[in-house]
Amino acid sequence: MARPTRTLWGSLTAPTLPPFVAAATMLATLPLLRPGVFGESTALAGCAVAVLAAIAALLRRERVRARPVPAVPLLVGLVAVAYLWMVGHGAAVFAPDRVRDLFQDFVLTIGSLVAFAIVLADPRARRAVARGFVVAVVLVCASWVVTALLWGVAGLGAGQLTTVPVGTVELQPVYVPFTISYSTSEVFGLEVPRLTGFGRESGWMAMSCAAAWFLTDAVGYRAHWVKVLILAGLAGTLSTAGFGVFVVVLALDVFLRPRGGIGLGGFLRQIGGLAAIAGAGWVALYAPVLGLSAKQSSNETSLAERQDATDAGVRALTESPLGGLGSEKQAGINLVSDIAVNGLPFVVLVSLAILVPAFVAPGRGAGRLGRAVPVALVVFLTLLLSQPAAASTWAFALVAVACAAEGLTTAERAEPGTPALARWHRWWAGRAAAASSPTPPAVPIPSPARPPAALGGERS
């Protein structure tokens, strides 16, 4: 009986999918899940797309065994406990309609993160997701560079294509080639649009740029132009908090990250790292345009509102550590102010969910590079200082992606990208073996030698 020919997509009775399907489907949730650019209105659709990616990954397991990274389920579990606290706390404090919103946040966030855990359990899919995220960030940053060059020639604001809804604010412009902006900031006396990319606001895009910077090594993208474009995009966000977080984490990573062994050089590097961190803090405070002092003069109202909410969180540490009804504007805007809203237990659980998995990320056989910790620090400091932890699915997913990339082996990290579709077809049809492993040439077998005729014997 002839065996059925396998195809790229498997068979009807044994379906399977290549890794790029699950990875591409998961990356499609970047603008759809919160804090994506459309996430406030498309979070349910984004969760559905994430579930489809998980189904694609499960179909692939018919052929490929999963190799999950323990850090990812740990992260999902801790976030689930934190969100359960948030829902329970809301039931005791808030009105019923608010509880419905919190429960919806729980279902969409945890459901999407479970889908991420399923996809990232496949080594090739996790590498494709991590590489795809870096590529998406680089493309957005390259678009910003093109837009900025166009403005330099034709004037600020030139090349507007259309407008799109961004977060909960009014329609925002999209510039050539596909640069989405969010509000404006004053730069040397000029009002300049701020890059928001696939984020709900510029601060989220700055977090993605900083995380992509550290992920480039983990996915094998070490070209200098990649990091130059990422830096350009980070500058284009004009995000004070994003810039400050990046320079501080970069100083920590360069000077204080353990590199193995104990020696005078390492000791001096770490001592110098303390001075570098102090210098990074000074740059974050006083750098022109992106520093905190520049933000105070250009956007004093926003900074004052965030400061009021943060001060309320600090007071709640002693007055109401279990949280309550935040009355300040922008209450819950960061983890500190969240103490006054969702309580200290929520803040502690979220902090553990972000930081603990990064230190246990490498799995069996992984080639540790130490990239998960800086990515986790970028996300943690962003949430600590400037962005809300509630309903921020991709913030947690980014830590999961970094932990999964840390779980790649050295060979998997160095392996080139996905082969051409035609080669896949040949491989799945069973004809690749002959093409990739040609049959060795036959070794000639010598024929038996004819015995020599005896001297003086018969001649033929």
Burial of 246 from C-beta contacts in 10 A (0-12 / 13-18 / 19+): buried
Radius of gyration for the chain, computed over Cα atoms and rounded to the nearest angstrom: 27
The whole-number pLDDT of residue 284 equals 55
C-alpha count within 13 angstroms, C-beta hemisphere, residue 279: 9
The model carries a pTM of: 0.83
Per-residue pLDDT of the chain (460 residues; tens, 9 = 90+): 445 444 555 554 455 678 889 999 999 999 999 999 999 999 999 999 999 999 999 887 766 677 888 899 999 999 999 999 999 988 888 767 778 889 999 999 999 999 999 999 988 899 999 999 999 999 999 999 999 999 889 988 899 999 999 987 778 999 999 999 987 777 766 778 889 999 999 999 999 999 999 999 888 888 899 999 999 999 999 888 888 889 889 888 887 766 555 555 555 656 666 666 666 565 555 555 454 445 555 555 567 777 888 888 889 898 888 887 766 677 788 899 999 999 999 999 999 999 999 988 776 556 677 789 999 999 999 999 889 998 899 999 999 999 999 888 878 777 775 444 344 444 444 444 444 444 455 545 555 555 444 434 444 3
The alpha carbon dihedral of 335, 319, 102, 302 has a sign of: negative
* Structure tokens given for 453: 């005729």
Angle between helices 39-60 and 393-406 (to 10 degrees): 30
pLDDT computed for residue 418 by the predictor? 46
Contact between 410 and 362 (Cβ < 8 Å): no
| pLDDT of res. 276 | 63
> Quick check: 174 and 193 in contact, CB under 8 A?
no
pLDDT at 17: 77
Please give the pLDDT value at position 247.
Answer: 84
Is the CB of residue 41 less than 8 Å from the CB of residue 48? Answer: no
